[in-house]
């Protein structure tokens, strides 16, 4: 892209409709927090191990097991029928100790990798805390993965132990077991009474183990978690995270999620993805709040029921879920008592301004976008809980986070001046979003891919691969992933802007936008649209939607072509897969599809 091209953002029509939403208590002013906060101050807030080290499981579970939080529910699981069962902080700590003791007795120790392959069941949380207690490394896999992605990741990560269920084992792991000589033990969480060949019965092992024991002394830089990225742009990468990360989970849990000790907090992400561990497990436990865990899948009616019946006060979810609720309509939201809820936060892909405005009205609450990545391990840019929201913007860098936009040349490489990356300073100009390394939850490498890791850093900045603009007040606006932006007749078009505009049309439920090659313009914008319930595809509707977009975006940016689809391809973490839309459109190979929803 040519350096200095104006960003084609035009948000004013939406921005003026929205009231100022600076409503949340107990947070110091954003500017004040930016001036005074340091990551070291967050590190000092941790309890720390007696020997001076730090351990995520100690901060999240064991230190709460004595004292006033001991009997508080740490995790409250909601069953399919709506009934619940819980683990208290003391219970979680004891179970984690038992799990660590089982690992020790089997010779699994420091740095050994323990994988999980399970739905959101209690054993998954116990295994995670127990693994960290033992100084081993935890790597969660999404339970809907098929045998091949499971094998790849276990091989890449040298999995020594796998925690799973009998059904998942039989269907997906037994067939690949012979290809995994390094995998020493498979623990089944539900093997009671009927042994399964080549596996161990976890319930029996835990029953016989000691509920009290030492927390292994781990240091800040010791590896704690291995997380595979969502695979939106290609082959998933194994991001390495260390125990130091917990300082970031503590601070960002306060700044971006406004967690307070009495909160009932619900993060809908699966622990198979980084959001589900950083903010589905670690951050809420470190803050000593009660976390809701829904064992079922996404469903509008059920979700509203959980929000109401469990008296959820802070809700962390994703744009795809909010769009699903929008599709179901505001009256459904109004049927439920959401009076306990303070605010809604979202992460994972761009949050369309239309959804922010809809959510604000439907829930009567602010909806906060958050930007971060598997690599950053924690929230980096967000609507700091006590600041005004600008719908369509990701917000501002959290205190302690130094963000910038690196200028890119015509070949999409960073522009360098005397070894320094040139930064975009003009408001509204596109650059690659970059972060100054040094925050605690930053990844410390891609497993076995040193060169790929090294390439992420230029002139003292970590390059995120995402393009954005910044306005005069320091709010960041997502333009697109570097690979997804469309260059058409000298314009730089972010798919997010076009998709957000399409979503404003009353018939559109979801939209995915790509560039298709064109000999004259370089690329033309093509949209794939999923309609709202009750709307039928027709040529008239196609023209109407294109006309609607042209009026708002202008002919250079509005889609030239539009196809109706039943559903858009998504990653299992709920992101629209534009690379797949493009490959299918152009008849190209589909690449790595291990994380595609519906694939096996
Ligand atoms: P891969 O790196 O394997 O292609 P991925 O980037 O989707 O997959 P994640 O680490 O889960 O894997 O997702 C991080 C990315 O998701 C960000 O780099 C960004 O592109 C997108 N994203 C996350 N939150 C937001 C947000 N609030 N607004 C816009 N984009 C977001
Ligand atoms: Mg990525």
Spatial separation of the C-alpha atoms in residues 501 and 11, rounded to whole Å: 10
Report percent pLDDT > 90 for the chain.
78
Report percent pLDDT > 70 for the chain.
95
The pLDDT score that the predictor gives to residue 599 is: 55
The pLDDT score that the predictor gives to residue 130 is: 98
The pLDDT score that the predictor gives to residue 247 is: 98
- Give the model confidence (pLDDT) of 102-123 as tens digits: 999 999 999 999 999 999 999 9
The pick from 374, 376, 449, 576 for probing ligand 1's pocket by mutation, whose C-beta has the most ligand atoms within 8 angstroms, reads 374
Spatial separation of the C-alpha atoms in residues 276 and 84, rounded to whole Å: 20
Tell me what the pLDDT averaged over the chain comes to. Answer: 91
Structure tokens at 496: 């997010």
| Ligand 1 contact via 230 beta carbon (within 6 Å) | yes
Give the pLDDT mean for 351-374. 91
pLDDT band at residue 419, thresholds of 50, 70 and 90? Answer: confident
Give the pLDDT mean for 199-217. 96
Go through the domains of the chain in sequence order and give each one's CATH number: 486-586 (3.30.300.30)
For the CA of 239, the nearest atom of ligand 1: 10
What distance in angstroms lies between residue 350's CA and the mean position of ligand 1's atoms? 9
| Dihedral over Cα of 90, 95, 96, 101: its sign | positive
Among the residue ranges 45-49, 437-441, 554-558, the one predicted with the least confidence is 554-558
The pick from 230, 355, 574 for probing ligand 1's pocket by mutation, whose C-beta has the most ligand atoms within 8 angstroms, reads 230
Tell me the ligand closest to 370's alpha carbon.
1
The more confidently predicted of residues 119 and 231 is 119
Strands, DSSP E only, in 431-585?
Answer: 431-435, 457-458, 461-470, 476-481, 486-488, 491-493, 508-518, 522-531, 561-564
Phi, psi for 178 (deg, rounded to 5):
-65, -20
For ligand 1, atom 12: residue with the closest CA = 230
Core vs surface per residue 70-87: b (16+ CB within 10 A) or e: eebbbbbbbeeeeeeeeb
- Give the model confidence (pLDDT) of 336-355 as tens digits: 999 999 889 999 999 999 99
Tell me the ligand closest to 580's alpha carbon.
1
| Ligand 1 contact via 392 beta carbon (within 6 Å) | no
The pLDDT score that the predictor gives to residue 303 is: 96
Tell me the ligand closest to 232's alpha carbon.
1
Among the residue ranges 26-40, 300-314, 473-487, the one predicted with the least confidence is 26-40
Predicted confidence (pLDDT) at residue 475 exceeds the cutoff of 50: yes
For the CA of 369, the nearest atom of ligand 1: 27
For 504, what's the count of Cα atoms within 13 Å in the CB-facing half-sphere?
Answer: 21
The pLDDT score that the predictor gives to residue 453 is: 97
pTM above 0.80, yes or no: yes
pLDDT band at residue 27, thresholds of 50, 70 and 90? Answer: low
Predicted confidence (pLDDT) at residue 17 exceeds the cutoff of 60: no
Give me the count of residues in the chain.
600
The pLDDT score that the predictor gives to residue 161 is: 98
Spatial separation of the C-alpha atoms in residues 258 and 450, rounded to whole Å: 36
| Ligand 1 contact via 348 beta carbon (within 6 Å) | yes
Structure tokens at 586: 């152009």
What distance in angstroms lies between residue 63's CA and the mean position of ligand 2's atoms? 34
What is the Rg, in whole angstroms, of the alpha carbon atoms belonging to the chain? 24
pLDDT band at residue 24, thresholds of 50, 70 and 90? Answer: very low
Using CA atoms, how far residue 529 sits from 329, 372, 502, 544, 569, in Å, is 18, 26, 8, 13, 11
Spatial separation of the C-alpha atoms in residues 353 and 376, rounded to whole Å: 24
- Residue from 136, 275, 188, 243 nearest 575 by CA: 275
Predicted confidence (pLDDT) at residue 18 exceeds the cutoff of 60: no
Among the residue ranges 7-11, 114-118, 346-350, 463-467, the one predicted with the least confidence is 7-11
The more confidently predicted of residues 280 and 588 is 280
Among the residue ranges 260-264, 382-386, 460-464, 544-548, the one predicted with the least confidence is 382-386
Spatial separation of the C-alpha atoms in residues 419 and 458, rounded to whole Å: 9
What distance in angstroms lies between residue 228's CA and the mean position of ligand 2's atoms? 10
Give the pLDDT mean for 416-433. 94
User: Torsion over CA of 240, 243, 248 and 249, rounded to 10 degrees?
Assistant: 90
Strand, coil or helix: 124 = helix
Best mean pLDDT range from 95-109, 224-238, 342-356, 487-501: 95-109
What distance in angstroms lies between residue 98's CA and the mean position of ligand 1's atoms? 36
Give the angle subtended at the CA of 524 by the CAs of 519 and 530, to the nearest 5°.
150
| Ligand 1 contact via 350 beta carbon (within 6 Å) | yes
Core vs surface per residue 203-239: b (16+ CB within 10 A) or e: bebbeebeeebebbbbebebbbbbbbbbbbbeebbbb
Give the pLDDT mean for 236-253. 96
| Ligand 1 contact via 233 beta carbon (within 6 Å) | yes
Give the pLDDT mean for 13-23. 34
Predicted confidence (pLDDT) at residue 509 exceeds the cutoff of 70: yes
| Ligand 1 contact via 394 beta carbon (within 6 Å) | yes
The pLDDT score that the predictor gives to residue 43 is: 97
The more confidently predicted of residues 553 and 43 is 43
The pLDDT score that the predictor gives to residue 13 is: 33
The pLDDT score that the predictor gives to residue 10 is: 35
pLDDT band at residue 4, thresholds of 50, 70 and 90? Answer: very low
The pLDDT score that the predictor gives to residue 379 is: 98
Predicted confidence (pLDDT) at residue 23 exceeds the cutoff of 90: no
3-state secondary structure 187-242: EECCCCCCCCCCCEEHHHHHHCCCCCCCCCCCCCCCEEEEEECCCCCCCCCEEEEE
Predicted confidence (pLDDT) at residue 8 exceeds the cutoff of 80: no
Residues 6+ apart with CB under 8 A from 479: 7, 9, 430, 466, 467, 468, 469, 485, 492, 494, 496, 497
pLDDT band at residue 11, thresholds of 50, 70 and 90? Answer: very low
């Amino acid at each position: 892209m040519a350096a200095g091209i104006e960003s084609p953002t035009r948000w004013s029509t939406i921005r003026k409709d929205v009231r100022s939403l600076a409503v949340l208590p107990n947070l110091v002013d954003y500017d004040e927090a930016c001036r005074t906060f340091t990551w070291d101050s967050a590190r000092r807030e941790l309890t720390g191990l007696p020997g001076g080290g730090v351990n995520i499981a100690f901060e999240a579970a064991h230190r709460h097991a004595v004292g006033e939080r001991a009997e508080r529910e740490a995790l409250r699981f909601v069953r399919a029928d709506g009934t619940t069962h819980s683990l208290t902080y003391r219970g979680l700590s004891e179970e984690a100790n038992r799990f660590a003791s089982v690992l020790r007795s089997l010779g699994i120790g420091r740095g050994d990798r323990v994988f999980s392959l399970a739905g959101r069941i209690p054993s998954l949380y116990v295994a995670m805390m127990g693994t960290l207690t033992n100084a081993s490394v935890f790597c969660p896999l999404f339970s809907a993965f098929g045998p091949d992605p499971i094998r790849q990741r276990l091989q890449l990560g040298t999995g020594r132990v796998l925690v799973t269920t009998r059904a998942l084992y039989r269907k997906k792991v037994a067939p690949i077991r012979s290809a995994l000589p390094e995998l020493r033990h498979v623990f089944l969480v539900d093997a009671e009474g009927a042994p399964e060949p080549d596996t161990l019965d976890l319930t029996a092992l835990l029953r016989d183990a000691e509920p009290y024991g030492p927390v292994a002394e781990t240091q800040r830089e010791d590896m704690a978690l291995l997380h595979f990225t969502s695979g939106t742009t290609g082959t998933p990468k194994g991001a390495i995270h260390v125990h130091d990360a917990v300082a970031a989970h503590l601070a960002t849990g306060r700044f971006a999620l406004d967690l307070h000790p009495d909160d009932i907090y619900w993060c809908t992400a699966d622990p198979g993805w980084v959001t589900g561990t950083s903010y589905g497990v670690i951050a809420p436990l470190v803050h000593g709040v009660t976390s809701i865990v829904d064992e079922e899948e996404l469903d509008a009616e059920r979700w509203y029921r959980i929000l109401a019946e469990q008296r959820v006060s802070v809700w962390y979810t994703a744009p795809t879920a909010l769009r699903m609720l929008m599709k179901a309509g505001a009256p459904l939201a109004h049927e439920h008592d959401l009076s306990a809820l303070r605010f809604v936060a979202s992460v994972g892909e761009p949050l369309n301004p239309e959804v922010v405005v809809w959510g604000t009205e439907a829930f009567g609450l602010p909806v906060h976008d958050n930007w971060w990545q598997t690599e950053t391990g924690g929230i980096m840019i967000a609507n700091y809980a006590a600041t005004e929201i600008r719908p369509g913007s990701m917000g501002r860098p959290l205190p302690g986070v130094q963000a910038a936009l690196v200028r890119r040349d015509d070949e999409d490489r960073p522009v360098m001046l005397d070894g320094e990356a040139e930064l975009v300073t003009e408001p509204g100009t596109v650059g690659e979003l970059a972060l100054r390394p040094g925050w605690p939850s930053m990844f410390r490498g891609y497993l076995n891919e040193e060169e790929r890791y090294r390439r992420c850093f230029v002139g003292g900045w970590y390059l995120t691969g995402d393009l954005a603009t910044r306005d005069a007040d320091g709010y960041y606006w997502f333009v697109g992933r570097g690979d997804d932006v469309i260059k058409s007749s000298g314009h730089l078009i972010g798919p997010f802007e076009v998709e957000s505009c399409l979503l404003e049309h009353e018939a559109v439920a979801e939209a995915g936008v790509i560039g298709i090659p064109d000999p004259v313009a370089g690329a033309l914008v093509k949209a794939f649209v999923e309609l709202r319930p009750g709307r039928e595809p027709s040529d008239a509707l196609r023209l109407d939607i294109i006309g609607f977009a042209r009026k708002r975006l202008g002919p250079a940016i509005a889609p030239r072509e539009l196809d109706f689809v039943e559903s858009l391809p998504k990653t299992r973490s709920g992101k629209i897969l534009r690379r797949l839309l493009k490959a299918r459109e152009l008849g190209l190979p589909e690449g790595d599809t291990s994380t595609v929803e519906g694939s096996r």
